[in-house]
Amino acid sequence: MSIKQNPAKDPLGPVPEPPWGEVKPEGKTSDVVRFILADRTISFPVKELKRWELVGGDPECLQIKTEKAVITVEGKLLAAVRDALDEVRLVQLRVNGQRPSARPGPIVRRIAIESS
């Protein structure tokens, strides 16, 4: 149960998606994960994502392995992306700039996809 600040009024609009990507609401799962690069968008069925590993440091590195590709994500605060993968809720991931956003959350500086 949550407390509404003004229970008589409905919210003005939907909550905007985070600048780094999109996540399904709790209780729903994603069938496809879309990686948005500067020049193209690549989608993978969730069932093809075999393993992911988050390595701390500056920058953090999230490495996602499929049978035929390795997806490398570099940035900060990437635990939220890893958690969305764990919960099968990640829908899309995109670079959101070099500077920190006013909104909290991951900063995705680079996404690279290489054939393995």
- Does 59 sit behind a cis peptide bond, omega within 30 degrees of 0 on the bond before it? yes
User: Within a domain: residue 67?
Assistant: yes
pLDDT at position 31 is 97
User: Within a domain: residue 12?
Assistant: no
Total of domains in the chain: 1
Predicted confidence band at 96 (pLDDT cuts at 50, 70, 90)?
A: confident
Q: Please say if the pLDDT value at position 54 is more than 80.
A: yes
Q: Containing domain of residue 102, as a range?
A: 21-115
Instruction: Determine if residue 85 is left, alpha or beta; phi over 0 gives left, psi from -120 to 50 gives alpha, anything else beta.
Output: alpha
pLDDT tens digit string along 103-115?
A: 678 999 999 999 9
Residues in a beta bridge with 70: 65, 114
pLDDT tens digit string along 12-47?
A: 666 667 788 999 999 999 999 999 998 999 999 999
User: Within a domain: residue 95?
Assistant: yes
Is the pTM above the cut of 0.75? Answer: yes
